[in-house]
Amino acid sequence: MDGNGRWAQSRHLPRIEGHRQGAKSVEAVIRAAREIGVEYLTLYAFSVENWQRPALEVKGLMALLMEMLKRYAQELADNHIALKAIGRLDDLPAKVRAQIRLAEQASVSGAKMTLMLALSYGGRVELIEGVRALARRVRAGELEPADIDEASVSGALYTAGAPDPDLLIRTSGEMRLSNFLPWQTIYTEWYVTPTLWPDFGREDFFAAVSEYNRRERRFGGV
């Protein structure tokens, strides 16, 4: 979800206003995804690299995350959407972690869609932590090195139990993965749009899904 800062700067607004407008796009896309029966939606909300941003911006982002979790936790539950946060969650402020737990607990029963929020997430960090988890199992005698396969690696990642993404939407015209789900996206279809995230809404989401539906996926076959 890229382009919040540029959206704000082009309007001579503080960067946090771009993030606030981007939060409205989050709301629109979640509702659109639920409307058409998407079962898993993952939003790259905050990366491990984002901690390097100015302290005031990071503080504003954490406050905005708290606000969104409080405001929409019940709506997610009412719409049968389960929330799951993935990433290095211990990096987050304690009050944010507590609010995440409350939102996750409120939305666990009867879910028809899973919303995964990638927070303090980094694909390489995820892989490193997954490898360490497998190494601990080997050391404990629970797993033979020769038995490590794609399924066991996938099961050691933050996204264990979730299918690999079918479609990756990248806003603001950026043509890079930016450390997002490197293991899971090897056969994911990309959709890149020049639209900045705060301007990305329901119809933009439907356009991306429509483009995806026109593609032929061969997964290395013919």
Active site residues per annotation: 2, 50
Nearest to 66 by CA among 107, 90, 94, 47: 94
**What tokens does 151 get?**
């399924």
Query: How are strands ordered across the β-sheet holding 40-47?
Result: 40-47, 113-121, 81-86
Contact yes or no for 51/183 (Cβ under 8 A):
no
Contact yes or no for 197/2 (Cβ under 8 A):
yes
Nearest to 32 by CA among 85, 125, 24: 24
Q: Which amino acid is at 35?
A: E
Cα–Cα dist 41/115, whole Å:
5
Q: Which amino acid is at 198?
A: P
